[in-house]
Amino acid sequence: MKIDFTVPPEYENTRLDHLMAQIIPDCSRSRAASLISSGHLQVDGQTRKPAYKVRAGDTVFGQLPEESPGRVIAEPIHLDILYEDTHVLVINKPAGLVVHPGAGNAQGTLVNALLHHDPGIARAGEDPLRPGIVHRLDKDTSGVMVVARTARAAEFLKKEFKYRRVDKRYLCLVTGVIKADKGEIDLPIGRHPVKRKLMSARSDAPRSALTLWRVKERFVSASLVEARIKTGRTHQIRVHFYTQGYPLIGDPVYQYRKARKNQGGQTKAGRQMLHAFQISFRHPFSGQRMAFEAELPDDFIKISSYLRQLQAAPA
């Protein structure tokens, strides 16, 4: 991967390793520091220290070495299994669990757990780092996922997702009271032009993204919303509600500074309040339509209860 990046004014005095961890997709700060120290990333043709404070106009250039995917190791990690047969596995993923190995996450992922549960999943798909994975949830998003147990099931389910035949529904807690009862957000999103780990409506290469939503409950300064995504873009729900002025409670990235400060003392949310509560898909062997729901996790219930208490409290 080639890096050719000119530092914009807003990143003046940012540590070089911190900046590169934001710019390079799936790159941890430790890996960024290693790439800088080894000379794979240089500033205006010079090797700098990871702690170097960049200046506006600096050019960071380099050719990143290809990482060997290696072999994913099976690990005895607990799985909350909602359903399984010889073709598919439906699980309730907890918040904090990364779906598949990547830079800085070689172990402790859902894939490691799946291979321990069923070593045969290693043959379900072409990517050795993502066997059985036909869709994903962000690390700190909880909820229901379907996993393929065979190559045939993986191929079938990937096509179902591609042609939007899978119905996915989420519950989220957003900052602010939404007045309308329901609506849709039809707004293309893509990689942020500068912060490459983030998604944005200001992307240089946006892709169509459609979210249907309806309000389930209103609180003093928040709303419980059911969201149904017709497309499966990275961070879609989080970005869409952020652009509308209703960032998800607890979201560490797509958040306004004032909202982050205010809600931190109120809810103490340790992650974005987003839960994939329902999925419906055709079975890859029988063709039968199947639907599954994942119960709300404790942190989501706790914060919802707290918001209800605020709503009920006398003014």
Q: 24 or 261: which carries more pLDDT confidence?
A: 24
C-alpha–C-alpha distance, residues 138 and 125, integer Å: 20
Own/partner pairs for 155-163, CB < 8 Å, 24+ apart?
A: 156/284, 157/88, 157/281, 157/284, 158/134, 160/281, 160/282, 161/134, 161/135, 161/232
Binned at pLDDT 50, 70 and 90, residue 257 comes out as: low
- In this prediction, residue 28 carries a pLDDT of 73
For residues 38, 40, 45 and 46, what is the CA-based torsion angle, rounded to 10 degrees?
Answer: -20
User: What pLDDT, on the 0 to 100 scale, is given for residue 171?
Assistant: 99
Query: Which range has the worst mean pLDDT, 107-121, 127-141, 191-205, 254-268?
Result: 254-268
Q: What is the pLDDT of residues 37-94, one digit of tens each?
A: 988 999 998 899 999 999 999 999 988 876 555 678 999 999 999 999 999 999 999 9
What local confidence, expressed as pLDDT, does residue 66 receive? 62
- Whether residue 205 is predicted with pLDDT greater than 90 in this model: the reply is no
Contacts of 163 (CB under 8 A, 6+ apart): none
The arithmetic mean of pLDDT across residues 168-180, rounded, is 98
Q: Average model confidence (pLDDT) for the chain?
A: 90
pLDDT of residue 198: 87
Dist. CA 30–CA 179, nearest whole Å: 44
CB-based burial of residue 119 (10 Å sphere; 0-12 exposed, 13-18 middle, 19+ buried)?
exposed
CATH for 2-63 is: 3.10.290.10
Q: At residue 161, does pLDDT exceed 70?
A: yes
C-alpha 69/C-alpha 129 separation (Å) is: 7
Model pLDDT, residue 307: 94
Question: Could you tell me which residues are beta bridge partners of residue 226?
Answer: 171, 214
33 vs 172, residue with greater confidence: 172
| Lookup: tokens for 124 | 């379900």
pLDDT of residue 264: 42
Read off the pLDDT band of 203 (50, 70, 90): confident
Mean pLDDT of all residues in 254-271: 64
Overall pTM > 0.85: no
Residue 122 predicted with pLDDT over 80: yes
| Long-range contacts, 176-182 (Cβ 8 Å, 24+) | 176/221, 176/222, 176/223, 176/245, 176/246, 177/218, 177/219, 177/220, 177/221, 177/222, 177/223, 178/215, 178/218, 178/223, 178/225, 178/246, 180/215, 181/214, 181/215, 182/212, 182/213, 182/214, 182/215
Catalytic residue (one of 118, 138, 140, 251): 138
Predicted local confidence at residue 265, as pLDDT = 42
How buried is 5 (Cβ within 10 angstroms: 0-12 exposed, 13-18 middle, 19+ buried)?
buried
Residue predicted with more confidence, 170 or 105: 170
Give ranges for CATH 3.10.290.10 in the chain: 2-63
Mean per-residue pLDDT for 211-236? Answer: 96
Which ranges in the chain are annotated with CATH 3.30.2350.10?
72-163, 169-275+300-312
pLDDT band at 310 (very low <50, low <70, confident <90, very high): confident
Q: Which of these CATH numbers, 3.30.2350.10, 3.30.450.40, 3.40.50.10490, 3.90.1640.30, describes 169-275+300-312?
A: 3.30.2350.10
Q: What is the mean pLDDT of residues 211-230?
A: 97
The fold of the 72-163 domain, in CATH, is: Pseudouridine synthase (3.30.2350)
Q: Is 204 part of the annotated catalytic residue set? A: no
pLDDT interval class at 315 (50, 70, 90): low
Query: Average pLDDT in the 275-300 region?
Result: 98
